Amino acid sequence: MQKGRPKNLNLARCLDDFPYYAANVLKIKDKNSNLVPLNLWEPQMRLHNVLEGLKRENKLQRVIIVKARQEGISTYSEARIFHSAHLGENTKNVVIAHEKESGNSIFGMCRLFYDCLPKPLRPMTRYSSKRELVFENPDPKTRYLNPGLRSSLEVYTSGKKSVARGTTIHNLHCSELASWAFPDDVIPALLPTIPKNNQSLVVYESTAKGVSNFFHAEWLRAVEGVSNFVPFFLAWFDLADYRREFNTEEQKAQFKEVLNDEEKELIVLHGLSLEQLYWRRLTIADLKGDVELFRQEYPSTAQEAFIVSGVPVFDRRKLRMMALKCKKPMFRGTVQHNTIVPEERGEFRVWKQPEPGGLYVMGVDVADGGEGGDYSCIEVFKKLPAPYIAEQVAEWHGHLDPYNFAHIVARVGKLYGEALASVETNAHGLATQQELQRHYWNIYQQEHFDRYKNQFQNKIGWETTVKTKKLLISFGTHCIADMTILVHSEDLVRECMTFIRDETGSAAASGGGYDDRVMATLIALFTMHHKIDEEPLDSPVFQSSAPPVSKEIDVNKGMFIDTEFAHILEYGRQDNYEQSWLNY
């Protein structure tokens, strides 16, 4: 760098205080095309604080970000990348955009950072192309004496499988990762080259583009805590600019009078102002009234961001209400033949312990057990008093061969008072069913009509056919529409969100995703409704089954809450736990 520096600039502070560096050194174009200092917005500061926390704890600075549009995350990421190249020696800093136009815009931002540097802080530049800045002595004769920083900043697009391969990368920003062409080829080749220390930065960021893609899978891994990345979500209302003032108080009062149900819910759940809702309504109008598209581009929760196209089987508004009851399990572990062992990442999750006299049903969906394929799943539900039907109390979800899976079913069933086991006998399920019969007695028998004997007979297990699947779906749709079941698993609600009707009138997970939890749940609910007699409300069975009403949410009928929403809040509301979908 050239000698001298701007007055009052603390260069030492620039090295370790990125917000100070950004505000005093970097320039960006605002929406009016004016050059202004990069003073970090609130969403950018939230992200910065997360990364600084990881650094202080000597953890990897790796974050995966689901966000609404234009919240400044790309600007923050590029500024961090530039900061490393500008003030760090011998670093390779890489940005990969999803398309050429976006890559040009990103490099233009970085080039502007450089062009607007105070002259004393401008490093020697060996060359600058349309996608690369190299901070090095351009003179080969003197380079060995005064090499310069020997750092670089490179911007690529993701159109090739071999992008950015070759050498160690110190800082990496993957922009709009959900839209990449070959993420499964590019990312595994790049990550191993990045030093595993608390100095290197890796940012995955994107608006969500549905489910069953690389970005969605990585997000779920981060949420589950099984990857090196920390999940970070920004809702649209986290940005202060996303609001529209009213012209008059009369206009504001009129707007308040015509709020729809979803707008009322947003006020209750997130404390939104009428000005924010006015901006939301205007933006939906710009999107030709497509509310689902707004939820994808400007989500309120991470779950909402991954909304998929197609006709959903279940009412997504009701599912969002049901998400209020989702919570972390009270126990997680591994089920073995004779015991259940606590384990942080175990397949078995428990929300409610078995209760004496409780009536339980297990819906069992069976896969082949191979890694990378479909999952096997057990959903355990407890019967509730009318008008409710059932509450989810436990779930087993994992990969296991059908034979050994039968022993898991038996163990879970015995834990929950010899719960009625309803095993789907299609394909691999038949093997599970036959083995289960050797160790367990309380097994569902499906009634079917024998054409040869011209009479109804019982057949052990649940067989899913075109007709019986429609029965399952119809009853499940009824349960969700009437809000008569309590669900605690975020993963189950997420699968319900992406359960889509197909051209034949049946349904399946969208885009090759998973619906194991959905099918196990539908089987459990249908079995419970048709095989367990209804208990009277004053039965001792139900004396302890209704969860207490939490006072954490004050249901004020004057706060725009419709009757359905008040109903779900009043029965089985949030306990004292953090809900990731509502608090990312």
Extents of the domains making up the chain: 40-234, 236-300, 324-547
For the chain, what's the residue count? Answer: 584
pLDDT of residue 302: 86
372 pLDDT band (50/70/90 cuts)? low
Structurally, at CATH architecture level, domain 324-547 sits in 2-Layer Sandwich (3.30)
Lowest-confidence pick of 116-125, 156-165, 270-279, 439-448: 156-165
Can you name the residues that pair with 361 across neighbouring β-strands? 381, 420
**pLDDT for 406 beyond 90:** yes
Query: What gap in Å lies between CA 175 and CA 70, rounded to an integer?
Result: 13
Give mean pLDDT, residues 179-194: 91
Lowest-confidence pick of 23-37, 98-112, 114-128, 527-541: 527-541
Place of tokens 């509502």: 582
CATH of the domain spanning 40-234: 3.40.50.300
DSSP-H helix ranges across 323-437? 402-415, 429-437
Query: What gap in Å lies between CA 80 and CA 62, rounded to an integer?
Result: 13
Q: Are 219 and 231 in contact (CB under 8 A)?
A: yes
pLDDT in tens, 42-79: 999 999 999 999 999 999 999 999 998 889 999 999 99
Joined together, the tokens standing for residue 211 give 């489910």
pLDDT of residue 582: 28
**pLDDT for 122 beyond 60:** yes
Strands 171-175 and 201-206, by their bridges, are parallel
Query: What gap in Å lies between CA 396 and CA 499, rounded to an integer?
Result: 20
pLDDT in tens, 456-492: 667 888 888 888 898 999 999 999 999 999 999 999 9
pLDDT of residue 565: 43
pLDDT of residue 234: 93
**pLDDT for 182 beyond 50:** yes
**pLDDT for 335 beyond 90:** yes
Can you name the residues that pair with 383 across neighbouring β-strands? 390
Q: Are 237 and 272 in contact (CB under 8 A)?
A: yes
pLDDT of residue 557: 33
577 pLDDT band (50/70/90 cuts)? very low
**pLDDT for 83 beyond 90:** yes
Q: What is the largest CA-CA distance in the chain?
A: 99
Those residues with Cβ within 8 angstroms of residue 370's Cβ, 6 or more apart along the chain or in another chain: 399
pLDDT of residue 516: 94
Which range is most confident: 74-83, 383-392, 443-452, 523-532? 74-83
512 pLDDT band (50/70/90 cuts)? low
Can you name the residues that pair with 173 across neighbouring β-strands? 95, 203
Q: Are 304 and 320 in contact (CB under 8 A)?
A: yes
Give mean pLDDT, residues 84-99: 93
pLDDT of residue 500: 86
Give mean pLDDT, residues 337-359: 91
85 pLDDT band (50/70/90 cuts)? very high
pLDDT of residue 343: 92
pTM for the model stands at: 0.74
Please compute, for residue 261, the number of CA atoms within 13 A of its CA located in the half-sphere on the CB side. 9
Query: What gap in Å lies between CA 145 and CA 10, rounded to an integer?
Result: 27
547 pLDDT band (50/70/90 cuts)? very low
